[in-house]
Chain A
Amino acid sequence: MVAQKMTLIPRRQAMRLLSGVAASSLFPLRSFATPDKVASRISEITNGRKVSDIDIYLDMPEIAENGNQVKIVFEIDSPMNEDEYVKTVFVFADGNPEPDVAKFNFTPAMGACGATTRMRLSKTQNVIVLAEMNNGLFAKADTKVKVTIGGCGG
């Protein structure tokens, strides 16, 4: 009897150990972007230049019922001529598997700066829009979106 008990306990411990190993090896696959990662991406792009207070109109739902299709609308007031135009707009999400969502490259030929698309949100998180002007200035806007059913296949 004593011998049997002694074999049982190590096996349970072994199982617990194994499941722990399995769980920890799965975590790297499920790593998500964090506000820090988004902040480091933004500092990478801005390269130390300051973010000015140019207004960005950013429209997203406050609560997204389905994170698979979330509409995002942004507009930036800019004359969009050769001397002054918005060059690039980056969209980041700080709770998705990767922080980058999309990068929009504008040209003066468009006459206005703005775009609409649909994105995935895996959970409730902040969406950040960073705009780069042709003169090197940056502008930023962010909004929090509550997600009830996440996207990103998980």
Chain B
Amino acid sequence: MAKVKARVKVQKKASVGEVIEIKTLISHPMHSGRAVDADGKAIPRNIIKSFTAKFNGNPVFNVDLKPSVASNPFIVFPFKVTEAGRFDFIWVEDGGKEYTASKNMKIA
């Protein structure tokens, strides 16, 4: 399988009270278990089943994904800035394998 790569875009500096937009993307085929390969064999299901965003250790946003989510899951969500800190992003694949990314944000 191609290497799974997580990418996140968070602005480096923000002011208190501002609602910022966080963009996340993970390269993943999201095999639904319904498609077949070139030999006609079914490709087993393998999807990213959950995504969680944490800020300074507290979970702030979570998504449960189903096979109907497109390959390379792209998720954009808002976040209200209250203090400087660190974002942690966790994607969980079928079978429990985790992919992570993190970003730091300062107060402008």
Contacts and interface: CB of A to CB of B under 8 A. Distances in A.
A137 B5 CA distance: 38
B80 A152 contact: no
B35 to A, nearest CB: 3
Interface string B41-67: 001000000000001001111111111
Contact of B79 (A98, A100, A109, A151): A109
Interface of B: 19, 32, 34-36, 43, 55, 58-80, 82
Nearest to B78: A112
B84 to A, nearest CB: 15
B61 A153 contact: no
B65 A107 contact: no
B90 to A, nearest CB: 14
Interface in A68-102: 68-70, 80, 93, 96-98, 100-102
Contacts of A70: 70
B86 to A, nearest CB: 14
A96 B67 CA distance: 10
